[in-house]
């Protein structure tokens, strides 16, 4: 009997180790497999004039699927409703550009500048937007599942944005909105779906999360001093090391949040 129990324990332990190893592999960055110095990631196929001509000739949905626009000045252009699936926009200047309703699925926009841009209702699925700048941008109502680690969302509007992980579509591992180490000062996340989003070590001083759903979100080490948290849902969220001092309003779900006792509240 003891031998069978020992064997069961060994098998269970092996399964746990295997599962942990698989999760670690899934969590590896796509950057491990991409040459960021390659022409695909640094050069452009077109010029600003080419894009302006396409806008004039589109007569409907502007198709920029897979187009390399790395480093281009696209500021102020009307790209609303454009299909930019798999487009490369690394380092591009998109300040004040109208991208409302645009599709940016699988796009690369590392270090791109979206300051003051409109992305209202845009679809941004599995995009790579590390260290991009979204200062004062409007992403309200957008659907976003992207890696925005280190991005700057100072003063941005993401009210009502849908950034929750779709647990029905996770065959390749957890796909979620990632704001790790992002700057979120004074950003508006009110009423947004942020379930399972990654906010580890984000700087969100003065941000508004009122009414947002942060179920099972990871807030480890995040700074939310002075943030609005009225009615924010924190069921199952990880609050280890998070700074909630001087926050405004009362969150919900603290009784089921993880590591609430390790957060700073006063």
Query: What's the confidence (pLDDT) of residue 13?
Result: 38
Smallest Cα–Cα separation from 252: which of 213, 200, 198?
A: 213
Q: Residue 20 domain-assigned? A: yes
Identify the bridge partners of residue 98 per DSSP, sorted by sequence position.
78, 118
Q: Could you tell me the residue range of the domain that residue 23 belongs to?
A: 1-33
Distance CA 223, CA 241 (A): 9
Mean pLDDT of 203-230: 98
Distance CA 40, CA 45 (A): 9
Query: What's the confidence (pLDDT) of residue 113?
Result: 99
Distance CA 113, CA 109 (A): 9
Q: Residue 8 domain-assigned? A: yes
Q: Residue 59 domain-assigned? A: no
Q: Residue 25 domain-assigned? A: yes
Q: What kind and span of H or E run contains 124?
A: strand 123-128
Q: Residue 6 domain-assigned? A: yes
Domains contained in the chain, number = 1
Q: Residue 151 domain-assigned? A: no
Percent of the chain at pLDDT exceeding 70: 85
Task: Give tens-digit pLDDT for 131-188.
Answer: 999 999 999 999 999 999 999 999 999 999 999 987 555 444 458 899 999 999 999 9
Mean pLDDT of the chain: 88
Query: What's the confidence (pLDDT) of residue 30?
Result: 61
Q: Is the pLDDT of residue 22 over 70?
A: no
Query: What's the confidence (pLDDT) of residue 29?
Result: 55
Task: Using the structure block, give the residue that is written with the tokens 């796509």.
Answer: 30
Query: What's the confidence (pLDDT) of residue 1?
Result: 42
Q: Residue 24 domain-assigned? A: yes
Q: How confident is the model at residue 35 (pLDDT cuts 50, 70, 90)?
A: confident
Q: Residue 95 domain-assigned? A: no
Q: How confident is the model at residue 7 (pLDDT cuts 50, 70, 90)?
A: very low
Q: Is the pLDDT of residue 93 over 70?
A: yes
């Amino acid at each position: 009997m003891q031998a069978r129990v020992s064997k069961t324990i060994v098998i269970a332990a092996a399964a746990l180790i295997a599962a942990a190893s698989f999760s670690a592999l899934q969590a590896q960055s796509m950057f491990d497999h991409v040459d960021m110095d390659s022409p695909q990631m640094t050069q452009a196929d077109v010029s600003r004039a080419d894009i302006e001509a396409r806008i004039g000739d589109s007569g409907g949905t502007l198709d920029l699927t897979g187009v390399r626009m790395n480093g281009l000045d696209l500021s102020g252009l009307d790209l609303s409703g454009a299909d930019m699936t798999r487009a490369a926009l690394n380092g591009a200047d998109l300040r004040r550009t109208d991208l409302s309703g645009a599709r940016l699925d699988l796009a690369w926009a590392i270090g791109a500048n979206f300051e003051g841009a409109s992305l209202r209702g845009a679809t941004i699925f599995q995009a790579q937007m590390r260290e991009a700048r979204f200062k004062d941008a409007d992403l309200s109502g957008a659907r976003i599942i992207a890696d925005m680690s280190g991005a700057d969302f100072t003063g941005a509007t993401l009210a009502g944005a849908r950034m929750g992980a779709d647990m029905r579509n996770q065959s390749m591992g957890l796909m979620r909105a990632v704001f790790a180490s992002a700057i979120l000062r004074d950003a508006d996340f009110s009423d947004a779906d942020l379930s399972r989003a990654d906010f580890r070590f984000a700087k969100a001083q003065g941000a508004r999360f009122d009414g947002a759903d942060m179920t099972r979100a990871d807030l480890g080490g995040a700074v939310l001093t002075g943030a609005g948290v009225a009615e924010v849902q924190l069921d199952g969220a990880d609050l280890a090391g998070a700074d909630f001092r001087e926050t405004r309003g009362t969150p919900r779900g603290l009784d089921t949040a993880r590591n609430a006792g390790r957060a700073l509240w006063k």
